[in-house]
Amino acid sequence: MSKDPGFITPAAMEGQGGYNRSSQVQAAGLSPAVPMLEFAARTVALPAGSQPIVIADYGSSEGRNSLLPLSAAIAILRQRIGPDRAISVVHTDLPENDFSVLFDTLNTDPNSYLRRDHAVFASAVGRSFYEQILPAESVTLGWSSWAIQWLSRAPSLIPDQLQVAFSRDAPTRAAFSKQAAEDWHQFLTHRERELTPGARLAVMTMAVDANGEFGYRPLLNAMYSSLVNLVDSGFLSGEEMRRMVIPTVGRSRADFLAPFGADSRCGLLRLEELEIFLGEDHFWSDLERDGDAQRFAARWAAFSRASVFPTLAGSLNSGRSDARTAQFIERLESGTTVRLAANPAPMLIPLAKVLLTKEL
């Protein structure tokens, strides 16, 4: 039975600490955007009075990668507001995100902002950021890293690939581009409503480079051929594989700019900064040092497992509750590792950072 592609939506990241353990690529990739968040914290207009200052973290997953950027922003706000004014940090993610691990991380991680500051209060919202999820005019500082490349849904299946960037099917590419444009616009519209006048929002996400390259090609090739092998071995049906889609996109500079007029405005939001940059493949640097291709491949496969395998497992016949889910994930991870270790190559990691301000 073929599943309506309209229902293929992103799953939350691997739970039970899986994402926290296997998101070093994301931790490294977001670090060049932290100075932009620090700048935002230094210059943002603060609401008058003594009410709490709200920081929203859109797409937090299990939280570990939020600790460094948010701690940096909180330290700067503290210099401006003194030690006692309350700061409320709201982490948001999809409803099925592992929020228990998020709260545990906030309570126990040595780098947690909660351990250093008696007037910071954390909470969470489990709703899609493609809706309004916080009260109007309540957020003073926004942060989002590695999250808005996830579309609200896959607009169609991809006939020849898992990732639309590698598809040769023009109608499929057009459908994903349209969805990406609508989702970026929706994200901006809802944040515009949530931000206080003068608030700032720093966004870091996946992009395509100046040549339109999405990157990660050796990894995606290894993953795709592992899936083909799972079909050939009878573990997976061809129909299940046909339904597997990674509903992420890399946006170009033009894609980010599209909702903004010549005056850099989209409604009350002003685009302050937009930069496309390349993340470093630290796993490759380690391989160049130690020659360990197996470790290189295992680390990239673990990155995929923690981020995209839960979504792929959703296309098994009984969804993520399918009896084969655990084995599917293990087999796909080991198949990807074997193939990537046999042909190791550095990953291109195109990223974008965007700074927005809401008009006063």
Ligand X SMILES: C[S@@+](CC[C@H](N)C(=O)[O-])C[C@H]1O[C@@H](n2cnc3c(N)ncnc32)[C@H](O)[C@@H]1O
Q: Is 90 in the site for ligand X (CB under 6 A)?
A: no
Amino acid at 84: D
Answer yes or no whether residue 93 interacts with ligand X by CB under 6 A: yes
Q: Is 26 in the site for ligand X (CB under 6 A)?
A: yes
Give the span between the Cα atoms of 344 and 323, in whole angstroms.
32
Question: In terms of C-beta density within 10 A (0-12 exposed, 13-18 middle, 19 or more buried), how is residue 261 classed?
Answer: exposed
CB of 231 to ligand X, least distance (A): 27
Least separation in angstroms between CB 181 and ligand X: 16
Q: Are 295 and 286 in contact (CB under 8 A)?
A: yes
Of the candidate residues 128, 205, 226, 311, the single one contacting ligand X (CB under 6 A): 128
Q: Is 139 in the site for ligand X (CB under 6 A)?
A: no
* Whole-angstrom distance, CA of residue 171 vs CA of residue 168: 9
Query: What are the structure tokens assigned to 307, written together?
Result: 């981020």
Phi (first) and psi of residue 121, to 5 degrees: -125, 130
Instruction: List C-alpha distances in Å: 344 to 98, 166, 218, 289, 352.
Output: 32, 19, 8, 14, 25
Of 147, 164, 246, 349, the one binding ligand X (CB under 6 A) is: 147
Q: Is 146 in the site for ligand X (CB under 6 A)?
A: yes
The reply on whether position 12 binds ligand X by CB under 6 A is yes
In the bound state with ligand X, the residue whose beta carbon lies nearer, of 56 and 147, is: 147
Among 113, 150, 216, 300, binds ligand X (CB under 6 A): 150
Residues 280-299 that bind ligand X (CB under 6 A): none
One-letter identity of residue 83: P
Q: How far is the CB of 232 from ligand X (least distance, A)?
A: 30
Token pair for 150:
């996830």
By CB under 6 A, is residue 59 in contact with ligand X?
A: yes
Residues from 211 through 240 that contact ligand X (CB under 6 A): none
Is residue 130 at the binding interface for ligand X, with CB under 6 A as the rule?
yes
Burial class (CB in 10 A: 0-12, 13-18, 19+), 5: middle
- Please state the closest distance from residue 321 (CB atom) to ligand X, in A: 18
> Measured between alpha carbons, how far is 117 from 142 in angstroms, rounded to an integer?
19
13 is a site residue for ligand X (CB under 6 A)? yes
Selected binder of ligand X within 37, 41, 55, 61 (CB under 6 A): 61
Please name the amino acid found at residue 169. D
Note the residues at the interface with ligand X (CB under 6 A).
Answer: 10, 12-13, 23, 26, 30, 59-61, 65-66, 92-94, 97, 128-130, 145-147, 150, 152, 307
